[in-house]
Amino acid sequence: MNYVRNYFLYIYKMKKKLTLWIMLLPAIMLAQEKLDSVPKVHHKKAQKVFVPHNPNEALPPVPDEVKPDFSKESIFKALFVGGMNFSQVEGSGEARYRKYGALVGGGTVIKFSKRFSASVELLYSQKGAGPEFSSDQISGRKNKFDISTDYIDMPFTFSVHDKKTLMFGVGLQVSVLTRYQQTDTAGVNVTSHPPPNGEAPHRVDLLGQLCGTFFIKQRIGIGLRFAYSFLKIRDAVSTSNYKGQYNNTISLRVSYLLDPKNVKWKK
pLDDT at position 267 over 50 = no
Whether the CB-CB separation of 255 and 88 falls below 8 Å is answered with: no
Rounded distance, CA 24 to CA 66, Å? 83
pLDDT at position 35 over 90 = no
Domain 76-258 classified CATH 2.40.160.20? yes
pLDDT-based confidence at 263, cuts 50/70/90?
A: very low
Rounded distance, CA 118 to CA 239, Å? 41
CA distances from 234 to 112, 124, 194 (A): 39, 22, 10
What average pLDDT does the segment 4-10 reach? 56
pLDDT at position 244 over 60 = yes
Rounded distance, CA 256 to CA 254, Å? 7
Furthest CA-CA distance within the chain: 154
pLDDT-based confidence at 145, cuts 50/70/90?
A: very high
Bond into 63 cis (ω within 30):
no
Q: What whole-number percentage of the chain has pLDDT above 90?
A: 51
Residue-wise pLDDT tens digits, 38-59: 555 555 555 555 555 565 665 6
Residue-wise pLDDT tens digits, 153-196: 999 999 998 877 889 999 999 999 999 999 998 899 999 999 88
pLDDT at position 204 over 90 = yes
pLDDT at position 266 over 70 = no
Residue-wise pLDDT tens digits, 128-143: 999 988 887 666 789 9
- Range from 121-125, 214-218, 222-226 carrying the lowest mean pLDDT: 214-218
Report the run of H or E that residue 229 belongs to, with start and end: strand 220-229
Quote the radius of gyration of the chain (alpha carbons, Å): 44
Beta strands in 140-165 (DSSP E): 146-162
Rounded to a whole number, what is the distance in angstroms from the first to the last CA of the chain? 109
Residue 2's pLDDT is 54
